[in-house]
Amino acid sequence: MYCLLKLAPLFLAVAVCNGWLFGDFVGKQKEQDEISLWPLPQKFQSSAVAFKLSPASFQIVHAKQSSAGPSCGLLENAFRRYELHSPLFTFEPVLLYDSDLVELQVWVTSADPECDGFPSLQTDESYELSIDEPSAVLKAANVWGALRGLETFSQLVYEDYYGVNNINKTDISDFPRFAHRGILLDSSRHFLPLKVILANLEAMAMNKFNVFHWHIVDDQSFPYMSRTFPELSQKGAYHPFTHVYTPSDVKMVIEFARMRGIRVIPEFDTPGHTESWGNGQLDLLTPCYSGSSPSGTFGPVNPILNSSYDFMTQFFKEISTVFPDAYIHLGGDEVDFRCWESNPDIQKFMAQQGFGTDYSKLESFYIQRTQSKGYMVWQEVFDNGVKLKDDTVVEVWMGNKMEEELQNVTRAGFTTILSAPWYLDYISYGQDWQHYYKVEPLSFPGTDAQKKLVIGGEACLWGEYVDATNLTPRLWPRASAVAERLWSDKSVTDVGNAYNRLVQHRCRMVKRGIPAEPLFVGHCRQEYKGL
């Protein structure tokens, strides 16, 4: 905006405002606060007619026809978050003026608004938003769609030259392209303090992500505090008090996520990636042998002992009560067979079962005995021929032969989500968000029925080099690229246009307190204040 005031060095002004990279877009000079929705809605019509909103008089209310009312805690909470004076809007009222737009009516249409429910894979997140005088109307089947619409509404509001909140006459009809739009955070390689997780749930909601894939434990540490087996975190966490998630922490994460329409899918990866489990649960892991004697090191979960299964049954019983989502991620990746091979008892067991030397059969044996409710697994479990329940979601993570894998998994009739192209822990110099943006999840050869089985994707931020110090700027706005790919229409692929919108969107995140890193040279009107 400031730049527009000065017309003389136009090229420079625009270049600075929009970043230097896209010289081609100089012609389309953009006002700094021009609407920049992210992710882009499916259908969007906007006119130049602008209405004023006054922080003093404008309010978000339940529509008369709505099935949700003031007793709907989830929406009441959301209204407060999206009120103009809330932290999500840091606009300061400069002038007193009459509002053109006095209210946003939120109209939940289905009989059960699901105020106290949890979002699920089947949740309808669609909404319609109509901005007109004197009232704007947000219409959605349930509270989840209403949440998405509220976020969009908040992104439509902009400040004019005089600091007044404006919103243009707009009609939006929106729904997600994919049902599963996830972020994976890894709290085992480094412990992530609760507030980092909560802040990122907030950022997820701004980007319309709806699944928090919580890779909560792994080889390095076991921060999940189990009621049934408290020794797991007492002995397996980096520190038994400061580096754990207590039951109330977990509850808070789940509730905070629910309030934002985000599912929490915990991952308890077995039988590999379980070193830290062994500290608090003796005899759970396979003793590795060196020659004919135990070497003192341990491998994957010991699949030949009944005690392992008894433990897993009890443990996962707890997990399915603690985490309300219909899905648990069981991992199953990167099982190192060498330790199993070295162990004479396991060799004997293999012979008894007639598995020969095919250790994937042993893995299969293990997985089948630990199946609980709905679950997700990493692709190896499918690759190794484990018999899976029909509703299993297979997560494709290996970069090589990704399309082939998608083809195979869907041909076998399984639903799948894609994370291979979106390993955000791999960093490089420059604008790598463009690579994430250009991915087309359905580009693999297959029938329409097969393509329908791809239910979404996940951006993964593994924790080897990431902790509270650098997680948030490393994740945002790079994950935003994935967010738009998973929400918006397939045809939304213009990188230049995305760049302009994303620059604004990242400034919006910064303004809302999320330290999202810059895309390129430039500035935000309100720079990051933390540090």
Partner 1 sequence: CRCFLTLYFKIIMIVLCNYICSFSMAHTGTHSQPVRSCLLLVVVSVCVQQVHGVWPLPQQLHQSADRGCLSPQRFSFTYGRDSAAQTGCSVLDAAFKRYFSIIFPDFTKGSGLLMLSVKTGGCDGYPDEDSDESYNLSVSEGQAVLRSVTVWGALRGLESFSQLVYQDDYGSYFINKTEIVDFPRFAFRGLLLDTSRHYLPLHAILKTLDAMAYSKFNVFHWHIVDDPSFPYQSRTFPDLSNKGAFHPFTHIYTQSDVMRVIEHARMRGIRVVPEFDSPGHTQSWGKGQPGLLTPCYKGGVPSGSFGPVDPTIDTTYKFMESLLKEVKFVFPDSYVHLGGDEVSFACWQSNPNVRKFMEKMGFGKDFTKLESFYMERTSIVWQDVFDYHERIPQDTVLEIWKGEKYQAELSRMTQAGHRVLLSAPWYINHISYGQDWRNSYAVQPQNFSGTEEQKKLVIGGEVAMWGEYVDATNLTPRLWPRACAAAERLWSNEEKTLNADLAFPRLEEFRCELLRRGIQAEPLFVGHCKHEYDGL
Closest to partner 1 by CB, 362 or 466:
466
Contact with partner 1 (CB under 8 A) among 100, 231, 467, 489: 467
Please list the alpha-helical segments (H only) found in 68-193.
73-82, 143-156
Total of chain residues touching partner 1, rule CB under 8 A: 55
End-to-end CA distance of the chain: 27
Hey, what amino acid is at 369? Answer: R
User: What is the helix (H) or strand (E) element at residue 158, kind and residue range?
Assistant: strand 158-159
> Under a CB-based contact definition with an 8 Å cutoff, are residues 153 and 136 in contact?
yes
Site for partner 1 in 423-442 (CB under 8 A): 425-430
Does 518 interact with partner 1 (rule: CB under 8 A)?
A: yes
Catalytic residue among 133, 334, 404, 527: 334
Establish how many alpha carbons lie within 13 A of residue 95's alpha carbon, considering only the half-sphere containing its beta carbon.
Answer: 13
State the minimum distance, in angstroms, from the CB of residue 20 to partner 1.
7
Q: Which of residues 195-234 bind partner 1 (CB under 8 A)?
A: 195-196, 199, 220-221
**Residue 468 binds partner 1, judged by CB under 8 A:** yes
- Which of residues 175 and 462 has its CB atom nearest to partner 1 in the complex? 462
Label residue 358 exposed, middle or buried (CB < 10 Å: 0-12, 13-18, 19+): middle
Q: Which residues in 227-286 contact partner 1 (CB under 8 A)?
A: 238-239, 242-243
Specify the residue, 11 or 161, whose C-beta has the smaller distance to partner 1. Answer: 11
Q: Pick the stretch among 88-96, 188-196, 325-333, 355-363 that binds partner 1 (CB under 8 A).
A: 188-196
Q: Quick check: 366 and 331 in contact, CB under 8 A?
A: no
115 binds partner 1 (CB under 8 A): no
Smallest gap from Cβ 530 to partner 1, in A, equals 6
Q: How far is the CB of 62 from partner 1 (least distance, A)?
A: 33
Q: Which residues pair with 240 in a beta bridge?
A: none
Note whether 5 binds partner 1 by CB under 8 A: no
In whole angstroms, the minimum distance from the beta carbon of 343 to partner 1 comes to 26
Q: Which of 466, 479, 483, 503 binds partner 1 (CB under 8 A)?
A: 466
What is the spatial distance between Cα 207 and Cα 150, in angstroms, rounded to a whole number?
12
Tell me the backbone φ, ψ of residue 48, rounded to 5 degrees. Answer: -80, -10
Q: Which is nearer to partner 1, 161 or 520 (CB)?
A: 520
Q: How far is the CB of 361 from partner 1 (least distance, A)?
A: 32
Rg, Å, the chain Cα set: 25
- Stretch binding partner 1 (CB under 8 A), from 34-42, 260-268, 272-280, 518-526: 518-526
* Torsional class of 204: left (φ above 0), alpha (ψ -120 to 50), beta (otherwise): alpha
Q: Which two tokens stand for residue 279?
A: 């500290």
Cβ at position 272, least distance to partner 1 in Å: 16
472 binds partner 1 (CB under 8 A): yes
Which range touches partner 1 (CB under 8 A), out of 1-9, 158-166, 287-295, 414-422? 1-9
Work out the angle at residue 313's Cα, subtended by the Cα atoms of residues 312 and 315, and round it to the nearest 5 degrees.
60
424 within 8 A of 183, measured Cβ to Cβ: no
Q: Residue 242 or 292: which CB sits closer to partner 1?
A: 242
Which residue, 196 or 495, is less far from partner 1 as judged by CB?
A: 196
Binding status of residue 463 toward partner 1 by CB under 8 A: yes
Q: State in angstroms the smallest separation of the CB of 456 from partner 1.
A: 25
Strand partners, 393: 376, 415
Please state, in angstroms and rounded to a whole number, the distance separating the CA atoms of residues 391 and 452.
Answer: 14
As a whole number of angstroms, the distance between CA 159 and CA 91 comes to 8
CB of 401 to partner 1, least distance (A): 21
* Cβ-count burial 423-454 (b if 16+ within 10 Å, e if not): bbbeeeeebebeebbebebeebebeeebeebb
Q: Which two tokens stand for residue 270?
A: 């077995």
Q: Is 216 left (phi over 0), alpha (psi -120 to 50) or beta?
A: alpha
Q: Which is nearer to partner 1, 220 or 281 (CB)?
A: 220
Q: Assess 531 for contact with partner 1 (CB under 8 A).
A: yes
CB of 256 to partner 1, least distance (A): 15
**Strands 127-131 and 135-140, sheet pairing:** antiparallel
Sign of CA dihedral 340, 320, 373, 332: negative
Residue 440 designated active-site: no
Residue span 482-511 as binding mask against partner 1, x where in contact by CB under 8 A, dash where not: ----------------------------x-
Nearer Cβ to partner 1, position 194 or 455?
A: 194
Q: Which is nearer to partner 1, 117 or 518 (CB)?
A: 518
- In terms of phi and psi (left: phi > 0; alpha: psi -120 to 50; beta: otherwise), the region of 371 is beta
Using CA atoms, how far apart are residues 482 and 526, in angstroms rounded to an integer?
A: 25
What is the CA 81 to chain-centroid distance, rounded? 20
Stretch that binds partner 1, among 123-131, 194-202, 264-272, 339-347 (CB under 8 A): 194-202
Amino acid at 401: K
Active site residues: 334
| Residue numbers at the binding site for partner 1 (CB under 8 A) | 2, 6, 9, 11-12, 16, 20, 189-191, 193, 195-196, 199, 220-221, 238-239, 242-243, 425-430, 463-470, 472-474, 510, 513-523, 525, 527-531
